[in-house]
Every structure is written in C-alpha cells, then in structure tokens.
C-alpha cells in the first residue's frame, strides 16, 4: 500500500515528466502537424478539454490547501505532545508495578488501563505523523499542475500567443 508521501512523489514525477514532454520539439510541432492534416479544430478542442480538466484539478486541489495547512499544524501539536504522552505512559507503567508491590490492586487496574490508553495514543501519533504532507510540498505540486495546464493551453492554435491562463481565485 502506498503512503501519502509515495503518492505525492509519484504525482510530482508524473507532472514533471509531462511538462518535459510538452517542452519537447515533437510536442511543440503538434499544432503545425494538426494544421497540415486539417484537424486543427479537433486538435484545439482536445487541447481546450485537457486544459479545462487540469484547471478543474487545480481548483479541487485549491480546496484542500487550507485543510493541508491545518493538518500540518495538528501534526506540529502532536509532535509537541508526543514526548509528554510517552513519558506519562512510561510513568504509569512503572507506577503500576510499584502500586502492586504495596498491595493496591484497584489502583493497578486503573493505572494499567490508563497506561494502555496512553500507549495507544502514542502509536496513533506515530501513524498520524506519517499521513500528513507538508503544505509547501503540496503547493509545489499544485503550482506544477497549473504550469502543466499553461503549457497545454499554449499548444492551441486558436488563441493569441501571449494568452495565459489565470489561476481560479487568483488576483492580478
């Protein structure tokens, strides 16, 4: 099973490969080939459809940006709490042995359950830490996706050469 970090790395590699492909002489020749073959209208329709799809992906990723930032903040908080939770779990584990030595079995039962709870929390913190991605990495992928959309957009023959895409919600 892939982790969120694996997915991000593979998505970034795919976007980078597609950008490199679109910069190739072969891809840059496609508009002229479409003109020569008389399929310029179909070619432009395909370019516009792909551009629209990439813009839609950017919009949906944009909706996640704030959530990614909040998750990153939660991970930071969890990171701060991790040593405390670990220390409390160890203390309770050690205390239960001492309480048993004094014949306080009821206190041992309670502290054992609390210790187990803190142990689960510590494990959950480790798992949660691996699920969160860095907001900077996420924004870098998002920017790469938008640049890819711009490069696809520029292949169309029915738009001015200086026409550029504007990211949805961006201010100029």
* pLDDT recorded at residue 26: 92
- The predicted model scores a pTM of 0.65
Cα separation of the two ends of the chain: 42
Q: What is the pLDDT of residue 118?
A: 66
With 80 as the cut, is the pLDDT of residue 71 above it? Answer: no
Residue listed under structure tokens 């969160």:
132
Please report the pLDDT score of residue 172 as a whole number.
Answer: 47
User: 99 or 138: which carries more pLDDT confidence?
Assistant: 138
Confidence tier at 134 by pLDDT (50, 70, 90)? confident
Instruction: Specify the pLDDT at position 115.
Output: 62
Q: What DSSP string runs through 4-45? A: HHHHHHHHHHHHHHHHHHHHSHHHHHHHHHHHHHT-HHHHHH
What are the tokens at 140? 């870098």
Contacts of residue 151, Cβ cutoff 8 Å, sequence gap at least 6: 19, 22, 23
For the chain, domain boundaries: 4-153
């Amino acid at each position: 099973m892939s982790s969120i970090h694996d997915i991000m790395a593979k998505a970034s590699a795919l976007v980078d490969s597609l950008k490199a492909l679109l910069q190739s002489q072969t891809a840059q020749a496609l508009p002229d080939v479409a003109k020569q073959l008389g399929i310029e209208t179909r070619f432009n329709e395909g370019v516009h459809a792909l551009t629209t799809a990439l813009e839609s992906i950017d919009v949906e990723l944009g909706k996640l940006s704030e959530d990614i930032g909040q998750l990153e903040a939660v991970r930071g908080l969890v990171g701060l709490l991790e040593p405390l939770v670990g220390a409390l779990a160890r203390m309770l584990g050690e205390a239960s042995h001492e309480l048993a030595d004094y014949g306080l079995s009821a206190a041992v039962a309670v502290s054992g359950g609390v210790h187990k709870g803190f142990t689960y929390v510590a494990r959950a913190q480790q798992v949660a830490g691996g699920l969160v991605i860095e907001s900077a990495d996420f924004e870098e992928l998002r920017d790469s996706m938008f640049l890819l959309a711009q490069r696809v957009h520029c292949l169309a023959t029915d738009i001015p050469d200086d026409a550029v895409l504007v990211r949805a919600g961006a201010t100029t």
